[in-house]
């Protein structure tokens, strides 16, 4: 996006870490995920008496979605919206406030209860991040009347509401509602990946491989999105609270629709391009996860966690790693030539997903081993990202431009 001289001088006077939202939020989100998964893995090996807000199990689910996932999604959207609208993105002190609100939430959930901070204050401190992000997303879109991208404003707001509902359930001792809110959030992340993936994956693939980009089929796009929205509603009300046949039909439609979309994006052309096949590899876990939900509805899978971890580890974790390793290069003025070892990181996430999904389903007596192995692979994958990309996030662009 072009800037005039005065704008460039202002931007270059800002510390590099605070010039665009992806910088502090990718850095913080990835570092936090390494710490959180590392602790979670250790917890299963050697349980401790530490009691975070909501308890260890709820804390794990909440923080991987709202601590890690939300940080990356907000960092990506608030960076992309500047390119989409031409309006200067949140930066400098406002970005510092946003990033600190995210950090405050992590600290409050981890240690707030131990220091006697009221539950409502913990909840308010945590929810503030997504509410601020919603406003930051809405401003440039509304300013230029770019209604095509307005959808991300209600998506972020619904994410805020799901977070708030989970906190409400914890405060008022409604464990079922607390879990349902997390399940709904997982499906909402699937929706975000479906929308953004449908925009960028076929475009990136066609631009890089020179293959023909097939135009989207409008009816297929609508069915893909509406079926996931319906699954979101089902998840929030409880997967077991709806007739199994209803869950089966909805899951099958969502799996087939998103699998069909995926098949049209040119994945067969990407085997020599890690920045491409990693995106395709991650997206395939969306229809696979919905397929596992269908098996659950038929009673062929005893634990809903298996289906959901296909989405959380494979789709969310895999897509985040694939996107941030690409976005970081592009937005720091570098060529899209990732470090060779990042390919290993992509494979670590793939293997983590396979271990976390298949072993508990087929060999439930080895579930603890599966959690431990998957956790180690996750930590290794994102540690590789941090080693190579953290210096890019905290230093100026390679081309000397602002941003």
- Interatomic CA distance for residues 292 and 298, integer angstroms: 10
Q: Count of alpha carbons within 13 Å of 332, Cβ hemisphere only? A: 25
User: Do the domain assignments include residue 369?
Assistant: yes
Of 144, 173, 202, the position where a domain reaches its end is 173
Place of tokens 């003025």: 333
Same domain, 109 and 213: no
Q: What per-residue confidence (pLDDT) applies to 45?
A: 79
User: Do the domain assignments include residue 402?
Assistant: no
Write the pLDDT tens digit of every residue in 230-262: 999 999 999 999 999 999 999 999 999 999 999
Q: What is the mean pLDDT of residues 90-112?
A: 97
**pLDDT(46) > 90:** no
CB 390 within 8 A of CB 357: no
User: Do the domain assignments include residue 395?
Assistant: no
Same domain, 161 and 44: yes
pLDDT class for 8, splitting at 50, 70, 90?
confident
Same domain, 250 and 361: yes
User: Do the domain assignments include residue 291?
Assistant: yes
Same domain, 150 and 193: no
- Interatomic CA distance for residues 82 and 329, integer angstroms: 17
User: Do the domain assignments include residue 322?
Assistant: yes
Same domain, 199 and 284: yes
Nearest Cα to Cα of residue 38 among 386, 395, 396: 386
Write the pLDDT tens digit of every residue in 151-196: 999 999 999 999 999 999 999 999 999 999 999 999 999 999 999 9
Alpha-carbon Rg for the chain, nearest whole angstrom, is: 20
Same domain, 28 and 46: yes
Q: What is the mean pLDDT of residues 206-215?
A: 91
Which residue range is the domain that position 285 belongs to? 174-389
Same domain, 164 and 226: no
- Interatomic CA distance for residues 95 and 88, integer angstroms: 12
Q: What is the mean pLDDT of residues 361-370?
A: 91
- Interatomic CA distance for residues 8 and 356, integer angstroms: 47
pLDDT class for 7, splitting at 50, 70, 90?
low
State the average pLDDT for the chain: 94
Q: What is the mean pLDDT of residues 73-87?
A: 94
Write the pLDDT tens digit of every residue in 299-309: 998 889 989 99
Of 150, 173, 196, the position where a domain reaches its end is 173
> Which of helix, strand or coil describes residue 303?
coil
Tell me how crowded residue 203 is: count the other CB atoms within 10 A of its CB.
Answer: 12
Same domain, 195 and 274: yes
Same domain, 158 and 267: no
- Interatomic CA distance for residues 128 and 114, integer angstroms: 21
- Interatomic CA distance for residues 198 and 43, integer angstroms: 37
Same domain, 273 and 334: yes
- Interatomic CA distance for residues 167 and 160, integer angstroms: 11
CB 268 within 8 A of CB 238: no
> Which of helix, strand or coil describes residue 397?
coil
Same domain, 151 and 252: no
- Interatomic CA distance for residues 69 and 55, integer angstroms: 20
Same domain, 212 and 315: yes
- Interatomic CA distance for residues 109 and 126, integer angstroms: 8
Q: What percent of the chain stands above pLDDT 70? A: 98
- Interatomic CA distance for residues 314 and 23, integer angstroms: 24
State the DSSP string of 208-254: HH----PPP-HHHHHHHHHHHHHHHHHHHH-GGGS-HHHHHHHHHHH
Of 119, 145, 173, the position where a domain reaches its end is 173
User: Do the domain assignments include residue 336?
Assistant: yes
User: Do the domain assignments include residue 358?
Assistant: yes
Max intra-chain CA distance, the chain: 64
Is residue 365 exposed (0-12), middle (13-18) or buried (19+ Cβ within 10 Å)? exposed
User: Do the domain assignments include residue 1?
Assistant: no
What is the count of structural domains for the chain? 2
Q: What per-residue confidence (pLDDT) applies to 113?
A: 92
- Interatomic CA distance for residues 394 and 403, integer angstroms: 11
């Amino acid at each position: 996006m072009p800037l005039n001289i005065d704008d460039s001088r202002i931007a270059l006077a800002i510390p590099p870490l605070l010039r665009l939202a992806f910088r502090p939020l990718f850095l913080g989100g990835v570092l936090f995920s390494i710490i959180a998964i590392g602790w979670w893995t250790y917890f299963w090996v050697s349980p401790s008496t530490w009691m975070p807000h909501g308890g260890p199990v709820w804390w794990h689910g909440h923080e991987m979605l709202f601590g890690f996932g939300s940080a990356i999604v907000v960092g990506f959207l608030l960076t992309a919206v500047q390119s989409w609208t031409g309006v200067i993105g949140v930066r400098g002190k406002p970005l510092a406030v946003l990033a600190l609100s995210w950090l405050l939430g992590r600290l409050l959930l981890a240690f707030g209860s131990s220091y006697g901070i009221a539950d409502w204050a913990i909840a308010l401190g945590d929810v503030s991040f997504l509410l601020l992000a919603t406003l930051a997303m809405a401003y440039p879109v509304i300013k230029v009347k770019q209604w095509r991208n307005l959808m991300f404003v209600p998506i972020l707001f619904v994410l805020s509401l799901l977070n708030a509902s989970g906190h409400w359930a914890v405060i008022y001792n409604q464990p079922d509602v607390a879990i349902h809110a997390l399940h709904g959030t997982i499906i909402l992340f699937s929706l975000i990946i479906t929308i953004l993936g449908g925009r960028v994956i076929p475009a990136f693939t066609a631009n890089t491989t020179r293959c023909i980009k097939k135009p989207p089929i409008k009816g297929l796009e609508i069915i893909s999105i509406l079926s996931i929205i319906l699954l979101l509603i089902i998840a929030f009300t409880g997967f077991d609270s709806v007739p199994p046949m209803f869950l089966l039909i909805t899951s099958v439609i969502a799996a087939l629709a998103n699998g069909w979309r995926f098949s049209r994006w040119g994945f067969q052309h990407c085997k020599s391009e890690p920045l491409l096949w990693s995106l395709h590899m991650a997206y395939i876990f969306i229809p696979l996860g919905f397929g596992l939900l269908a098996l659950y509805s038929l009673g062929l899978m005893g634990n809903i966690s298996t289906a959901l971890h296909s989405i959380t580890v494979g789709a969310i974790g895999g897509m985040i790693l694939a996107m941030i390793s690409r976005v970081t290069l592009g937005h720091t003025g570098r060529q899209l030539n990732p470090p060779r070892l990042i390919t290993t990181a992509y494979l670590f996430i793939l293997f983590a997903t396979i271990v976390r999904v298949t072993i508990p389903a087929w060999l439930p007596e080895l579930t603890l081993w599966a959690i431990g192995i998957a956790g180690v692979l996750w930590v290794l994958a994102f540690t590789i990202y941090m080693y190579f990309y953290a210096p890019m996030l905290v230093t100026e662009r390679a081309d000397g431009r602002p941003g």
